[in-house]
């Protein structure tokens, strides 16, 4: 999979992909991430990519011209399956969307800034708008990193234990059960006996029950329907 990211702050995206699982995904050539500086398509030599909003009001708006030129330039190199705009008024991101996007070949992610981007770009170039939660961050870079992480770890071969992504919270609309490691007794707090029983069937039943109890207590909305 190849993911292109368009941003006015490329330096914010240097670290997230340089470590751990995403680093491994890149080394194994399972994932390619290219970060592009939108200022390469600025409207003047000052690197301008934003302007005041029509109708007045505080905050700058990212201009059509640099965005359209950048998207068209990058689209000549790749046939994008989705052109995604990260924005707090987008559709809420969830595991189902991560699963769906992990099956795509080429994605372009656009990071918003300031007041957002000109509506004409949203209407005519963007194919998906995604929010990572009901709060406002100062730009779309961290949300883009969240998206790439959630997608990247689902690519076949990226995780060491191939099956482990299947048991993540949310994969079956349930939260993950509690987990324990050694020692079995830590300051008189004991690991549940059933996990030490060596009976895989019982362990499995216990985990399913714990998943359900945890979901019911913390996220009953996931059990609706």
Binding mask 69-88 for ligand ADE (x = CB under 6 A): -----------------xxx
Neighbouring CB atoms inside 10 A of 46's CB total: 8
Q: Can you tell me the distance from the alpha carbon of 135 to that of 44, in angstroms, rounded to the nearest whole number?
A: 33
47 belongs to the binding site for ligand ADE (CB under 6 A): no
116 belongs to the binding site for ligand ADE (CB under 6 A): no
- Residue 214 contacts residue 177 (beta carbons within 8 Å): yes
Q: Which of 49, 61, 108, 143 binds ligand ADE (CB under 6 A)?
A: 143
User: Least distance to ligand ADE from the beta carbon of 56, Å?
Assistant: 23
131 belongs to the binding site for ligand ADE (CB under 6 A): yes
133 belongs to the binding site for ligand ADE (CB under 6 A): yes
Of residues 24 and 115, the one with the C-beta less far from ligand ADE: 115
Binding-residue total with ligand ADE (CB under 6 A): 12
User: Least distance to ligand ADE from the beta carbon of 90, Å?
Assistant: 6
Q: Partners of 32 in the beta sheet?
A: 2
User: Least distance to ligand ADE from the beta carbon of 167, Å?
Assistant: 27
Of residues 30 and 137, the one with the C-beta less far from ligand ADE: 137
Q: Can you tell me the distance from the alpha carbon of 102 to that of 90, in angstroms, rounded to the nearest whole number?
A: 19
User: Least distance to ligand ADE from the beta carbon of 109, Å?
Assistant: 10
Of residues 112 and 177, the one with the C-beta less far from ligand ADE: 112
Q: Which of 29, 55, 135, 220 binds ligand ADE (CB under 6 A)?
A: 135
| Chain positions contacting ligand ADE, by CB under 6 A | 86-88, 112, 131-133, 135-137, 140, 143
């Amino acid at each position: 999979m190849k993911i292109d990211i368009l941003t006015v702050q490329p330096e914010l995206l240097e670290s997230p992909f340089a470590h751990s699982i995403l680093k491994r995904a890149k080394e194994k050539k399972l994932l390619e991430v290219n970060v592009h500086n939108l200022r390469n398509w600025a409207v003047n030599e000052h690197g301008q990519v934003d302007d005041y909003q029509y109708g007045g009001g505080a905050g700058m708006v990212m201009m059509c011209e640099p965005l359209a030129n950048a998207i068209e330039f990058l689209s000549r190199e790749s046939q994008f399956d989705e052109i995604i705009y990260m924005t707090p008024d987008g559709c809420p991101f969830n595991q189902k969307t991560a699963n769906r996007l992990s099956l795509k070949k080429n994605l372009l992610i656009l990071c918003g800034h300031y007041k957002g981007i000109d509506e004409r770009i949203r209407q005519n170039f963007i194919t998906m708008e995604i929010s990572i939660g009901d709060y406002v961050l100062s730009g779309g870079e961290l949300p883009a990193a969240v998206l790439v992480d959630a997608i990247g770890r689902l690519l076949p071969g990226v995780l060491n234990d191939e099956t482990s992504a299947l048991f993540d919270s949310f994969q079956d609309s349930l939260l993950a059960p509690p987990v324990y490691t050694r020692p079995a007794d830590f300051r008189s707090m004991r690991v549940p006996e059933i996990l030490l029983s060596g009976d895989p069937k019982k362990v499995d039943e216990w985990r399913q029950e714990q998943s359900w109890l945890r979901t019911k207590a913390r996220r009953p909305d996931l059990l609706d329907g």
